[in-house]
Structure 1
């Protein structure tokens, strides 16, 4: 989930944050929570995972594409 959050929302988070977000999304899907505000506390940042497989960039071409898209925003 942490990878999806950074990809779609631009929030770099850690694994515990990804788990918290997933739990919040599952709670929000329940019929009894329709129309309610769900608050999710994101307990970790992703910088400590940059050297792990969580945010590993598979090849140099992908790395260049990511950097290019960031510079051209």
Structure 2
């Protein structure tokens, strides 16, 4: 699944929006095990979205907040 921003409607989202995203991604990634990549939108803080990239690199979820020229194929593709 590709989620192409905006995850939130502002750079610093309210707690309710963060909780909703957490619940939704948990269901998609952990329960249904659907490989997912998230690309930030203009309302998202790209740097904030990338904070877990190192931890997520071996999972079925990848978040790309800052454009680096290309999106690397992660192990989540082969999951």
TM-score of the alignment, normalized to the shorter chain, above 0.5: no
TM range (shorter): under 0.3
The structure that is strand-richer by fraction is 2
Larger radius of gyration: 1
Structure-1-length-normalised TM-score: 0.25
The structure that is helix-richer by fraction is 1
